[in-house]
Amino acid sequence: MTLIRSIAATAAVLIGLAAGSALAADPNPLPSYKGDPSETSVSGLSSGAYMAVQYQVAFSSTVKGAGIIAGGPYYCAAGNILYAGICMGQVPFVPPNPALMVAAAQGFADLGQIDPLSSLQNDRIYIFSGTSDTVVRQQAVDAAASFFKQAGVPTANIAYVKDVPAGHAVITPAFGNACDANASPYISYCVVDGQGYDQAGAILQHIYGALKPPATTLTGKIVSFNQRNFAAATTGMADEAFVYVPQSCTQGAKCKVHIALHGCVQSAAVVGDDFYVDTGYNRWADTNDILVLYPQVNASTIPFNPQGCWDWFGYTGLNYAVKSGAQLAAIKAMVDTLIAKQ
């Protein structure tokens, strides 16, 4: 998560690269499980959190909630990597201005490039910022909470957890680094009120309401699929991605879809299966008819993305934060495939 170190060296290269090469053949397609189109949600860590914000805002009419772990407000960088430091809360006393981001979102909505902001009014947003996070600091995450309030999400629909002494990580009840770590694989174990903090469960239950207890033994399976069917190499997205499929989803259940987005240097190419196996989403998904989609983005030279971050500052083109953005459109197409009726 050392994105700041590369800002000055990479600024001129990152802006304006478009995704335009031909897609490869599809030897391992993503299956359809005829999921429920009204029950989609998204979450992510770090760059995945910024991407989750973008997905929630762009497709708010079909996304019912988001989990934002160490992420800032929508369109914070405005297509300019030089603003990344401010957007990550790294500039003392200069937090992001959420009012400007709401104005930008409203402009995109007026042009039909994202869904109307009024569609956010019924959505449910979970936000988390660890007090020991040195990568995305709390003033940036505070701005994310303020953005959603100013954009029309009722205060009662926003859960903002900001008092856990966690570092930069997805938090689990039983796996990972020490709670205050800011280190790979960016998954940490924290104790809150005497028990392990189950962040995946906190996110999913805030969005969907009360759920059945998580599985102790999984009945489903991880399915890998060819991501090239949805995203050309020039998007920075990996060849392969994953989806967790509960057994019930193969037996006729009308399953929900949750998109879980890894952070920088946290794709499968870097941390193996840690993110898509050990963050806890699958245990909750198994007993609650939830397909968990794990899209992947890797480090690349074209586009120039040395940390393997999701695009929240414009390396795939200036439309990165609207529906037509290369990565947003690819993820939406994956979701549409999972819920397709044929």
Per-residue pLDDT reduced to its tens digit, 50-98: 999 999 999 999 999 999 999 999 999 999 999 999 999 999 999 999 9
Question: Can you give the pLDDT at residue 21?
Answer: 34
Q: Assess whether pLDDT exceeds 90 at residue 139.
A: yes
168 is catalytic: yes
Residue 24 confidence (pLDDT) above 50: no
pLDDT (average), residues 3-11: 37
Tell me the per-residue pLDDT of 204-215, one tens digit each, with 9 for 90 and over.
999 999 999 999
Among the listed residues 133, 274, 289, 311, the single catalytic one is 133
> In whole numbers, what is the pLDDT of the chain averaged over residues?
93
pLDDT reported for residue 339 = 96
Taking the domains of the chain in order of start, what are their residue ranges? Answer: 3-339
Instruction: For residue 118, indicate whether it is catalytic.
Output: no
Instruction: Please tell me the predicted confidence (pLDDT) of residue 241.
Output: 98
- Determine which one of 41, 47, 142, 168 is catalytic: 168
Could you report the per-residue pLDDT of 174-205, keeping only the tens digit for each? Answer: 999 999 999 999 999 999 999 999 999 999 99
For residue 224, indicate whether it is catalytic.
no
pLDDT in the model for residue 165: 98
According to the model, what pLDDT value does residue 10 have?
A: 38
Write down the pLDDT at residue 15.
32
Whole-number percent of the chain with pLDDT over 70: 92
Write down the catalytic residue from 46, 47, 119, 129.
46
Contact 77, 85 (CB under 8 A): no
Quote the pLDDT of residue 341. Answer: 85
pLDDT at residue 342 in the model: 63
pLDDT-based confidence at 130, cuts 50/70/90?
very high
